[in-house]
Structure 1
Amino acid sequence: MALDAIYAIAKTFATAPDPIEVVPEILNVLSSFLDLKHGVLALLSERRSDSANRPKETNPYVIAATTFSMPVGTEPSEVLPTKVARLMFKSGVPLVSFDLEEEFGADAVPPRLRGMGQTMIAVPLRDPDQSHFVLGVLAAFRSHDSPRAGQSDLDVRVLTMVASLLEQALRFRRLIARDRERAQADTRRLLQSISEQRGDKPVHVKVEGIVGDSPAIADVIAQVKRVAATRTPVLLRGESGTGKELFARAVHSQSNRSKGPFVRVNCAALSETLLESELFGHEKGAFTGANTLKKGRFELADGGTLFLDEIGEISPTFQTKLLRVLQEGEFERVGGTKTIKVDTRIVAATNRDLEDAVARGLFRADLYFRICVVPIVLPPLRERPSDIRPLAQLFLDRFNKTNGTEVRFAPNAFETICKCKFPGNVRELENCVNRAAALSNGAVVLGRELACNQGSCLSAELWRLQEGASPIGGLSVGSVLTPSVRRRPIEDEPEIEEEPERETSGLVRKKTANTERDELIAAMEEAGWVKAKAARLLGMTPRQIAYALQKYDVEVRKI
């Protein structure tokens, strides 16, 4: 059982882009296999002092991951005893406390475990570069009533191996981050040095169709100017609504292919079969309904530019087909055998985190390196506030021209608009302007008539609920996982026979492999001893069902 647990944990760490993020899953594996419950990972935090008269806290720590729910505001000492944590940080040796209350006092027992005899096993997490420095504590508890009580030697060895795997994963992530920061710093110094030698001064370059003179947008335009003259593939990255298609057209118009065709394909809007037909074309009679020969978008964009929008949404199967034409510049139509060569420049766009998708096996690494030769990150509108007013005026002028009106904004309306965060970026700004102009009672739109001042702006509420992260999607979507931010726990609280308890997020709390043996057997019998069906009945995964069957030594019947 211990070897099986280590094997499952090693596989999880090997595929995890962020090792801290999967620690709750690791702790649940220990609970399923070895009955080590209430697992917790604590990491050393920066020393701090709340006031000049208050001394700095000794070895302050934060709870990085747990297998149980932690209400907001829970003190770290309520999860991991302060006495134990400080002893571990100071000594750096594994600790086994057969009776936590007797050795460290009643206050040392976490509130959720009081009244139950508990053995605590804790091992240090060391800095791989400085083996004497303890940077964290990995701990778990076992009830005195557990059939595995008294196996502390094995528990210490297993937890030590898990801590070692976590140390190496953290070290690898740290080295990658360090190399990336070093490369970025070297590039910035080189560019600054060249600029100083030439005596260059910042120049705001204009591109037709792009409005804005903020430093952020000026930097993007300069990148577009430089890369447009080459045949290098470009990947436009940024949140939804930042104008990726507009910048793709700018790359095309500034290149020597400007007289050639500019062809656009929305990869997310088509199924895999339709996308293949759209990009590669098809021969007459290739499938039902193919009454004539159809040229694909690659063929139509020959000598010009092909814009692949939402490229992060294509399926893994189609990624393989796309890779060949990007590498070799040749393909066959659907239903055809003749190889067609094209000279097409690729400009792709996505609001997804492709690096994370590659790490999770959802996006091919070779395709990623083929399209991400020159990545250009488009800044969200909230990072270029000086561009909001000219953009709003542009959209208002377009509205007046289209509808034959002469609506204008009052000064306080412009002030209100310029204070908005616009999580939907330029697209949302355009919608906001059109809505205000259409619903205005007169020729002047007043500040009080805007949706945000009438309590009807959905984006403002989304922004508040997301705590400053864009709810629309993109590279900044969601929260960045830090040692003090944890995933939703996997392990359950004690089960209640009534209707399943619901988490604050609105999701039904799932059971884990700690389901009672009788309930597990009943579910397997009802499912005809099919693990996948039993998993659905219990709200578990097939993998957790397999853990539970192995833990309770349940023989799977053949029907």
Structure 2
Amino acid sequence: MHIDVVEPVRLISSSARRRAKAAARESEQTSLETVFEIAKLLTGAVDPVAAMPSVFSILGSFMGLRHGALSLLCDPEAGQSPHPGHNPFALAATVRGVAPDLPSARGNDRVTEMVFLTGVPLVSLDIENEFGVDALPDQTTDGRLALIAVPIRAETHLPLVIGVLKVFRPFTDDPAREVSNDLRVMTMIASLLEQALRFRRAVARDRERMFREAGEAIKAAHDAREDVEPLLPDQGIVGESAAIGAVAKRIRKVAKTSTQVLLRGESGTGKELFARAIHSLSDRADKPFIKVNCAALSESLLETELFGHEKGSFTGATGLKKGRFELANGGTLFLDEIGEIKHEFQTKLLRVLQEGEFERVGGTKTLKVDVRLITATNRDLEEAVARGKFRADLYFRICVVPIHLPPLRDRPEDIPQLARTFLDRFNEENGTALEFEQDALGTLLGCRFPGNVRELENCIHRSAALCDSDVIRAEDLACNQDACLSAQLWRLQNNAFSPIGGLAAGEVIQPIVRSISAPVRPIPERPAPPPVPRKTANTEREELIDAMEQAGWVQAKAARLLGMTPRQIGYALRKHDIEIKKI
């Protein structure tokens, strides 16, 4: 009887090949997933060395590798020698069990030393047989082990080797194939690790340089010469106090440089005015000064406003529009309320600050600009950075020279001069000749003005608009008529109402009395008025319409009747969708 065995052999051979191909595909897929997970980990790590235990854990979970260790020899950017006599330090992480104390690299690690000196990978299918028991990891129970060790080369200083990455694999049925795949994966991970280390060094250098430049700029501002006029009358900044004089000296000093400036202060302290002063005193004074309020625009509108857009880039983009960065080329760009921009947009802004280039929305052409950036905020950026709301690298870019603008309550001696300046502007705009009685100035000196200079200006304009004579007296001021915004805020806070926006968190501001040379008439004590009813949108709309009808639909007159500025009443009319009648 004849039995044909050829066909079964062919079937077995074909089945084995299919299984081998399937195993190879599965191994390749596992390798790709391993590299992908490690790339994500190293990309997001602040310190790639500290992330190595997690890297080794991924290698153990995905590929079954054990006892990973990283040895770093030197920093190539510091020009150190790669000779192993420099006492390399190492991070070792045992994937199984408890990680050993650091550092854990042994001085007689011949494998690490060979890779350092030769700069080529080293593979051993039986590490104990080739290098002895000293080459085995501590406290191992894995039996026979294979070793894969790859060099970490400095890409910018080839062929310098800055480290060695090694792992062990328990012996398998096909160690040669497994180790060959391990070698490819470990070589890719070594390259990713070198990039992460290089990026960390670059960030550290940039941070050190920015701190050094900030220190130099601050020192230069403190060392202002005595013969420099401390005040800035040509820029519209009013005041003779020591606080405003110190700010003026710093502004004069920093204006001569191209250093980034961050203006910090409460709302109403005049941040835009000081930004214009820096621009006017710089060598860019004859170039554009462009301002943007970041809090007034959504993220998409802010991107279009700053970078511009191409024709047809979105619905309604009927033509090309240049952005503020482009318009400010050669000059100064002032970004107010920088702390309000969203975290996603901060990355785009950081690129412009770092590289000086951007693309318009919907465009592909890269534009380069030369812009001096001045930013301003009333937020605590340090707290925002700590909470992850504001990028740390953007913070270090904009906060090179911080200038703190003093609140008005810290420079009360400037209040009379400021009040006269605002009254002079009112007289010029309205054709009047109003003056202050001395007791009115004394009353103003007794206020703290939580809204700062802006609130003082509002107070002067309101009093001037409602004054019945040519002299503004103490009784003409809003605070003596129970119409002062600050007084209402004090009363609401003392009665445990919800906090009022714009005031310092948790601070209850009380009026204070200051001694002045001229006699001050004390403010009479008044009984607390009944609680002010909360206005609804309907009552506000009715009041606006009633005031406009009384004023003959002239916004400026209606603003005086309501104690508002023309810009405020214009905003209120738009808010309540009130159509302006023409008479």
TM-score, normalising length: structure 1 = 0.49
Higher relative CO (CA 8 A, sep ≥ 6), structure 1 or 2?
1
* Greater Rg by CA: 2
Q: TM-score, normalised by structure 2?
A: 0.47
More helix by share: 2
